[in-house]
Amino acid sequence: MLRIKEKMTVLASQAGATLRNHPAEVALSVAAFAVACYDYEDREGRSWDVMLSYYPVVFLFTYTLNRLLKRGMGRWAYYLSPLLWIPFYLLPEQPLFTTTYAVSWLLIQLFYLSSGWERDNKRFLEGGFAYLRSLFFAGGFSVVTWLLTGSIYKSIFYIFDLGYGDGFARLMAYTGYGVFLVLFPFLFLLFNRRKETGWEGFGKLFGILLNYVLSPALLVYAAILYLYFVKITLTWSLPKGGVAAISVGFIIAAFLLRGCQAFVERRMYDWFYRHASLWTLPALAMFWVATAYRVAQYGFTEPRVYLVVVGLILTATVLLFLTRRWGRYLYVACLTIGLFGVVTYIPGITAKDIERVSQKARGNYPERERTEETYIYISSDLPVDIQGYNTLVDIRNQTHPSDTLTVYDADTLVYREAYDVLLEKQLEKVGLSRTSDSIPESVYPDLLRIELDSSAIVLEQLNLRRDSLFHVNYIEGAYYLKR
């Protein structure tokens, strides 16, 4: 009993120290709780959703300033930093998870991790593990608290026949706001005060995971990319568009696992990770070829601008890690903050601005005035390119369900896809989406051609309808090419 009392005393002392050391963060959490409750009750007024969605970003920014500005006049910048949350109310209502929001969320994480200015890679990653550990424990306790509280409320309302009306819904909403806007941040502050990295006792398990699961999987990944690299080199062909994303995943995984080698006693794959910059060069080359081709063919779009930025960061990472002196995760994090910040926040050179200039040069801006619903007919006068195929099968007489394209070769089903899913994939292939404002005529031939593993389908016409999205009305004719 005495031991429990001592632990409670220590916990109370730590909680008090957290309140004293983080007054701005706590004040911001309480303000977020009040705003969320007000927003719940004021259902007729303007939504506060955008402001609430940026609360974690402002909270972590305030917390990072607390870490950087310990004393002096600069300390006032920390105390006033919660006020930066207020302007987010002035932003127009928008989807909660926009590109700008996603980039802001990423950059604030990197800003926090870089704020300690740890040049040593192991120390830098230890800080990241400590941060994740604190988030994990705080999130775990918060979720359990929310579930238990909800169970208690539900039991009371059920046992005493109180009914599940607005009162119960309001109670559950307020509880959720209290747990995730106040308790969760407070627990994070409490757990993150401790200096341990949380790595002790986990090293052996991670060593097994790294040596026998993650590293072998990465090597298989590398082998596949190398085989594909050899194939396109021998055939002197362009890599597929999706190879850019695959290459990005491979390079990021290679350098993250390279850093994790510092925490493993038995380093079975040092021969690979020590020369990660060299091993990733073919993937980097395929990335730039695929990306450059897409940009040259279809111009810049907002996602493609960010893809190029990612490519610049990965290229810099590969070059930095060629030497011991410059191979620092800290420098990569700072470079990421700088480049993403430029194309996200600086007017005139944002990703959206670059897209507008690029597409305007191709005649896609300004957009033509539209009625509520417009139609577009996608066809091509170019002859069907059968190079690389031995047989062309006329399948124009095949019938399809009203919302699905189905293709048979004799009695064998070779392709089936819902119209809108098909359209989404074809648009993505040329760097567009169903929410795009227009479809340039230059991409029509690519939209009409569906590439399969060892065959292809060529459509005669796509009849599209656009309201807020593009939809397929019907598909006319098709040819099936096979080797």
Tell me, what's the pLDDT at 7? 65
Q: Are strands 391-394 and 404-409 parallel, antiparallel or unpaired?
A: unpaired
Strand partners, 449: 458
Alpha helices in 240-365 (DSSP H): 243-260, 270-273, 276-279, 281-298, 302-320, 329-345, 351-361
pTM: predicted TM-score of the whole model, two decimal places: 0.70
Q: Say how far apart CA 365 and CA 479 lie, in whole Å.
A: 34
Question: Identity (one letter) of the amino acid at 279?
Answer: W
Q: What is the pLDDT along the chain (483 residues), one digit of tens a residue?
A: 546 677 677 778 888 888 999 999 999 999 999 999 998 887 666 678 889 999 999 999 999 999 999 888 889 999 999 999 999 988 877 666 778 899 999 999 999 999 989 999 989 988 888 899 899 989 999 998 888 888 888 778 777 766 666 677 788 889 999 999 999 999 999 888 755 554 554 567 678 888 888 899 999 989 999 999 998 888 888 787 678 888 999 999 999 999 988 888 888 899 999 999 999 999 999 999 989 988 888 888 888 999 999 999 999 999 999 998 899 999 999 999 999 999 999 999 999 899 888 888 877 665 444 444 577 888 877 777 787 788 888 876 665 656 778 888 777 778 888 888 888 888 888 888 887 778 888 888 888 888 887 888 888 888 887 776 788 887 877 788 887
Amino acid identity for residue 443 in this structure: V
Which of helix, strand or coil describes residue 198? coil
Residue 165 pLDDT: 62
Name residue 413's amino acid. Answer: L
- DSSP H helical ranges for 321-396: 329-345, 351-361
State the pLDDT at residue 61: 97
Q: State the pLDDT at residue 173.
A: 87
Q: How much is the pLDDT for 372?
A: 47
Which pLDDT does position 371 carry in this prediction?
Answer: 43
Greatest pairwise CA separation for the chain in angstroms: 88
Do 62 and 16 contact (CB within 8 A), yes or no? no
What is the predicted pLDDT for the residue at 3? 66
Residue 331: predicted pLDDT? 96
pLDDT at 251: 95
CA distance 226 to 386: 28
Q: What contacts 61, CB < 8 A, 6 or more positions away?
A: 81, 84, 108, 111
| Cβ(430)–Cβ(298) below 8 Å | yes
Pairwise CA distance, residues 254 & 247, whole Å? 11
Of the CA atoms within 13 Å of residue 425, those in its CB half-sphere come to: 12
Residue 471 three-state SS: strand
**Which tokens go with 431?**
């760097």
CA-to-CA distance for 347 and 45, rounded, in angstroms?
31
What are residue 462's DSSP bridge partners? Answer: 378, 475
CA distances from 46 to 18, 40, 176, 339, 344 (A): 34, 11, 21, 34, 26
